[in-house]
């Protein structure tokens, strides 16, 4: 049964440590150790990010990163507020 956290995808820029996590409920970017609202441009995503995994191909690293993003989204009211304004 699908929910607002499915389907999901995680991508990263190995050189910078930047991580992007996206699902129906949120689009978050992790930079300098903190999750925040937003995401890369389509060109940046295509040119610089590497897919870590998604709900159809869930690597253990992708699952860990997605769960981390989901926990941040659920526990930080400002992230939920930012996502509700974006929709």
What pLDDT sits at residue 87? 60
pLDDT tens digits, the chain, 87 residues: what are they?
357 898 999 999 988 899 999 999 999 999 999 999 988 888 988 899 999 999 999 999 999 999 999 999 999 888 888 877 766
Q: Give the number of other CB atoms < 10 A from CB of residue 65.
A: 22
DSSP code per residue over 2-61: --TT-S-EEEEETTTTEEEEE-SS-EEEEETTEEEE----HHHHHHH-EEEEETTB--HH
The pTM score is 0.85
Angstrom distance (rounded) from CA 57 to CA 33: 25
**Domain residue ranges in the chain:** 9-86
């Amino acid at each position: 049964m699908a929910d607002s956290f499915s389907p999901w995808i995680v991508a990263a820029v190995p050189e910078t440590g930047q991580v992007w996590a996206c699902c129906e409920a949120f689009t978050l970017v992790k930079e300098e150790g903190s999750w925040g609202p937003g995401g890369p441009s389509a060109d940046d995503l295509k040119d610089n990010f590497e897919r870590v995994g998604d709900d159809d191909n869930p690597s253990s690293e992708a699952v860990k990163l997605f769960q981390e993003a989901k926990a941040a989204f659920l526990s930080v009211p400002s992230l939920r507020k930012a996502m509700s304004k974006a929709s």
